């Protein structure tokens, strides 16, 4: 199934992550070296389990943002590489814990760590990576960076608990859902971008602009993920289509279709989200209803709204290769997987 996408850049070629990947390629090698070096331990299970996920084909989206924002600011130093590794460690720790929380069995097209090594190992190696991330930040020595990333970490955990308490609740509204993804996803995107301004010693306004870029991109990114879960194929996204549906996750497509549905449809969504409709025919009906009520298309429209805000947050920065790459990264995020 394919949804209609209104491009943010009419008349141009397909947006791609390639420009931003090329922009930060040299720095990303340094980040990877830090990651590999600092996930080591005398306890062999730690690098083994961490490596499975860290070396396992993630896009390194968040550290990439730190590096690209540093380029945007012409930062000449090296500190951002270590800090980008911190961001990736925090992200990896949350993924390890998320997979335990969600009882996931697949991520990025591979078995999850909790399936291979068990929940205890995933919880504890997540804790290790999280602690190691703070050790690395302390080595860098910026209290401002520590404040930004410790706050982001607390907000992420708060968002995850918030999501947990909204689990299987069809009465979750769009506002609360935006609060949740603003915390669990967008906060780390925002922090990843913001710390580039800190290491480059730029003023509060620059920090705020990069924070806004990252936060809006993060929301757009998550909304597109939510839409993809209903329309893509398993191979493209590394997990099965309809996983969110079967897990009873209330995401924006569901919120919109439920809000716009008849009483009978509302009851269908309630049954589905509460776990009483998990058959393939139920998923098929859910997809029909999402299409019928434009819920996928409108989730994508919301994503483009936040994507546009991310792009506009870059307004204060001079045109150039870095800015163009950051803009195209947003365009890619809202157009991907179709």
- Interface contacts to a second copy, rule CB under 8 A: 41-46, 94, 97, 100-102, 119-121, 123-125, 127-128, 130-132, 134-135, 137-138, 141, 143, 146-147, 150-151, 153-154, 156-158, 160-162, 164-165
3-state secondary structure string, 66-112? Answer: HHHHHHHCCCCCCHHHHHHHHHHHHHHHHHHHHHHHHCCCEECCEEC
If we measure between CA atoms, which residue out of 229, 259, 234 comes closest to residue 246?
229
> Rounded CA gap, 60 and 52, in Å?
14
> In the complex, what is the shortest distance from the CB of residue 244 to a second copy, in angstroms, rounded to a whole number?
16
Check if the beta carbon of residue 275 is closer than 8 Å to that of residue 168.
Answer: yes
Check if the beta carbon of residue 306 is closer than 8 Å to that of residue 217.
Answer: yes
Count Cβ atoms within 10 A of the Cβ of residue 161 and give its class: 0-12 exposed, 13-18 middle, 19 or more buried: middle
Which DSSP symbol is given to 182?
I
> In the complex, what is the shortest distance from the CB of residue 153 to a second copy, in angstroms, rounded to a whole number?
4
Check if the beta carbon of residue 325 is closer than 8 Å to that of residue 68.
Answer: yes
Number of neighbours of residue 139 by Cβ within 10 angstroms: 11
> Rounded CA gap, 315 and 219, in Å?
19
> In the complex, what is the shortest distance from the CB of residue 59 to a second copy, in angstroms, rounded to a whole number?
23
Considering beta carbons, is residue 156 or 296 the nearer one to a second copy? Answer: 156
> In the complex, what is the shortest distance from the CB of residue 213 to a second copy, in angstroms, rounded to a whole number?
23
Count, residues in the chain: 338
> In the complex, what is the shortest distance from the CB of residue 163 to a second copy, in angstroms, rounded to a whole number?
9
DSSP of 1-34, one letter per residue? -------SSTTSPPP-SHHHHHHHHHHHHHHHHH
Positions of E strands within 100-219? 106-107, 110-111
Considering beta carbons, is residue 135 or 312 the nearer one to a second copy? Answer: 135
Considering beta carbons, is residue 52 or 71 the nearer one to a second copy? Answer: 52
> In the complex, what is the shortest distance from the CB of residue 318 to a second copy, in angstroms, rounded to a whole number?
33
Considering beta carbons, is residue 140 or 282 the nearer one to a second copy? Answer: 140
> Rounded CA gap, 152 and 311, in Å?
22
Considering beta carbons, is residue 5 or 161 the nearer one to a second copy? Answer: 161
Considering beta carbons, is residue 156 or 333 the nearer one to a second copy? Answer: 156
Residue reference for tokens 């971008």: 193
DSSP of 139-152, one letter per residue? HHT-HHHHHHHHHH
> In the complex, what is the shortest distance from the CB of residue 254 to a second copy, in angstroms, rounded to a whole number?
20
> In the complex, what is the shortest distance from the CB of residue 142 to a second copy, in angstroms, rounded to a whole number?
9
If we measure between CA atoms, which residue out of 112, 34, 101 comes closest to residue 66?
34
Considering beta carbons, is residue 137 or 223 the nearer one to a second copy? Answer: 137
Considering beta carbons, is residue 137 or 334 the nearer one to a second copy? Answer: 137
> In the complex, what is the shortest distance from the CB of residue 39 to a second copy, in angstroms, rounded to a whole number?
11
Considering beta carbons, is residue 140 or 208 the nearer one to a second copy? Answer: 140
> Rounded CA gap, 186 and 5, in Å?
23
């Amino acid at each position: 199934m394919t949804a209609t996408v209104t491009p943010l850049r009419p008349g141009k070629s397909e947006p791609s992550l390639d420009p931003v990947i090329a922009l930060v390629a040299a720095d990303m090698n340094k980040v990877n070296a830090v990651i590999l070096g600092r996930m080591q331990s005398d306890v062999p299970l730690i690098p083994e389990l961490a490596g499975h996920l860290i070396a396992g084909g993630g896009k390194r989206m968040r550290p990439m943002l730190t590096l690209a924002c540093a380029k945007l600011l012409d930062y000449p130093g090296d500190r951002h590489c270590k800090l980008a590794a911190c961001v990736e460690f925090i992200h990896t720790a949350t993924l390890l814990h998320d997979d335990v929380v969600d009882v996931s069995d697949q991520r990025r097209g591979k078995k999850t760590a909790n399936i291979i090594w068990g929940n205890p190992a995933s919880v504890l190696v997540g804790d290790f990576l999280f602690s190691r991330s703070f050790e690395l930040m302390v080595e860098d020595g910026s209290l401002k960076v520590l404040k930004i990333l410790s706050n982001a970490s607390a907000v992420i955990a708060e968002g995850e608990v918030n999501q947990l308490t909204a689990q299987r609740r069809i009465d979750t509204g769009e506002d609360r859902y935006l609060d949740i993804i603003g915390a669990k996803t967008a906060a780390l995107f925002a922090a990843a971008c913001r710390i580039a301004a800190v290491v480059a010693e730029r003023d509060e306004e620059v920090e705020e602009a990069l924070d806004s870029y990252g936060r809006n991109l993060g929301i757009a990114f998550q909304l597109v993920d939510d839409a993809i879960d209903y329309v893509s194929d398993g191979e493209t996204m590394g997990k099965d289509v309809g996983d969110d549906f079967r897990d009873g996750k209330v995401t924006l497509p569901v919120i919109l279709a439920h809000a716009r549905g008849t009483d009978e449809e509302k009851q269908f969504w309630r049954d589905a989200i509460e776990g009483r409709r998990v058959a393939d025919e139920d998923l098929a009906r859910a997809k029909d209803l999402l299409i019928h009520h434009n819920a996928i298309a409108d989730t994508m429209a919301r994503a483009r709204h936040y994507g546009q805000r991310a792009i506009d947050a870059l307004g204060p920065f001079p045109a150039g290769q870095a800015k163009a790459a950051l803009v195209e990264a947003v365009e890619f995020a809202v157009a991907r997987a179709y």
